[in-house]
Amino acid sequence: MTLIKKIKEEVKTKEEIKREYIYSTGGRKESSAQVRLFANGKGNFLVNEKDYKKYFPYFESQKIINSPLEQLGLKEKFDVSVKVRGGGIRSQSESIRHALSRALVKLNPEYRKSLKQLKFLTRDPRVKERKKYGLKKARRAPQWQKR
């Protein structure tokens, strides 16, 4: 009987560790981001289980990621966990911004107006153009030869 009680206590502690969060996805070019926004946080921001400053060493990328939280003044109120894949550094940071903005709107629909004006809720549809037959790239023709 004591073993069963210990197992039940362990299950309770694991359930207490799990926190409720708001889930959202975002995209840009070939990259996609999955964001978990935890309420009552301390401002921790993890990208692929690393600190976001280590994952994105450039200030510009860090600024893009934090911009939705900074615009709304919520930087220290939430913990954010992100899984991002595909694309380059810039497109990954923009996909995180898109997903984070969507999560904030799910949290409070009043944020929609200010985030919409900043175009954080719009998925940028531009993607790389496909290569065409007979060309070197999408539009680059082979060099012309006279003879």
pLDDT in tens, 81-90: 999 999 999 9
Q: Is residue 133 part of a domain?
A: no
Q: Is residue 130 part of a domain?
A: no
Q: How many domains does the chain have?
A: 1
CATH number at residue 50: 3.30.230.10
Q: Residue 62 CA to chain centroid, in angstroms?
A: 12
Identify the three-state secondary structure at position 132: coil
Q: Is residue 135 part of a domain?
A: no
- As a whole number, the mean pLDDT across the chain is 89
- Supply the pTM of this predicted model: 0.82
Q: Is residue 42 part of a domain?
A: yes
Q: What is the pLDDT of residues 23-66, one digit of tens each?
A: 999 999 999 999 999 988 888 999 999 999 999 999 999 999 99
Task: Convert 6-66 into a string of H (helix), E (strand) and C (coil).
Answer: HHHHHHHHHHHHCCCEEEEEEEECCEEEEEEEECCCCCCEEECCEEHHHHCCCHHHHHHHH
Find out whether 42 and 1 touch, Cβ atoms under 8 Å. Answer: no
Q: Is residue 123 part of a domain?
A: no
Structure tokens at 33: 């981001």
Question: Rounded CA gap, 78 and 67, in Å?
Answer: 14
pLDDT at 8: 60
Structure tokens at 21: 């969060």
Which residue segment(s) compose the domain that 112 sits in?
18-117
Question: Rounded CA gap, 97 and 84, in Å?
Answer: 11
Find out whether 28 and 98 touch, Cβ atoms under 8 Å. Answer: yes
